[in-house]
């Protein structure tokens, strides 16, 4: 999905796709020349599973598509640096707790924070002293309760809700 398109912009199109129940299994990767922070945050908030720049090498784009199809999420390295820099440099950000947060168990909240730290299921399992299958179940239940399309949205929800400093 590109950001700027005739008729409707890519962010609106992404939101429409991800909100349509008939397209629930459709994954969106934003591929654009624009790496503005608000585009990245909006794309993730609206359900994009990735944000890549158009200078991405074809082999890397193919790898990204495969990763997203398998349920992963990713950002271009320069976008990741900007996002991290933005979070670090921001004055206190407004806390907007996700409405589904109160449905999470204490363990699911803990898992949400670990996902926001960037840990994969094996790393979460090791940190919590549980099996990878149990960690995967906790992540899955957290995604379901928060209506998150992927782990990237879990990260956004954790930061927006103030669960991660």
Q: What pTM was estimated for this model as a whole?
A: 0.55
CATH code reported for the domain at 101-160:
1.10.10.10
Does 146 or 85 have the greater pLDDT score? 146
Cβ–Cβ contacts within 10 Å for residue 133, how many?
10
pLDDT band at 117 (very low <50, low <70, confident <90, very high): confident
Which helix (H) or strand (E) covers residue 57, if one does? none
Give the residue extent of every domain in the chain. Answer: 10-89, 101-160
Torsion of the alpha carbons at 159, 104, 23 and 133, rounded to the nearest 10: 100
Superfamily of domain 10-89 in CATH is Response regulator (3.40.50.2300)
pLDDT, position 27: 92
Tens of pLDDT along 1-54? 998 888 899 999 999 999 998 998 899 999 988 877 788 888 988 889 989 999
Helices (H), the chain: 10-19, 37-45, 58-69, 77-89, 106-116, 121-128, 132-146, 151-160
CA distance 124 to 139: 9
């Amino acid at each position: 999905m590109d950001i700027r398109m005739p008729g409707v912009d890519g962010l609106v199109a992404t939101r429409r796709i991800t909100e349509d129940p008939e397209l629930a299994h459709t994954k969106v990767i934003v591929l654009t020349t624009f790496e503005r922070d608000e585009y990245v945050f909006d794309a993730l908030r609206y359900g994009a599973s990735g944000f890549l720049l158009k200078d991405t090498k074809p082999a890397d784009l193919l790898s990204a598509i495969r990763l997203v199809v398998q349920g992963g999420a990713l950002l271009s390295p320069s976008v990741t640096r900007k996002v991290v820099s933005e979070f670090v440099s921001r004055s206190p950000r407004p806390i907007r707790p996700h409405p589904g947060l109160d449905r999470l168990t204490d363990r699911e909240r803990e898992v949400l924070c670990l996902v926001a730290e960037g840990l994969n299921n094996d790393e979460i399992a090791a940190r919590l002293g549980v099996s990878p299958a149990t960690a995967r179940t906790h992540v899955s239940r957290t995604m379901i309760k928060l209506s998150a399309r992927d782990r990237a949205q879990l990260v956004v929800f954790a930061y927006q809700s103030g669960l991660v400093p």
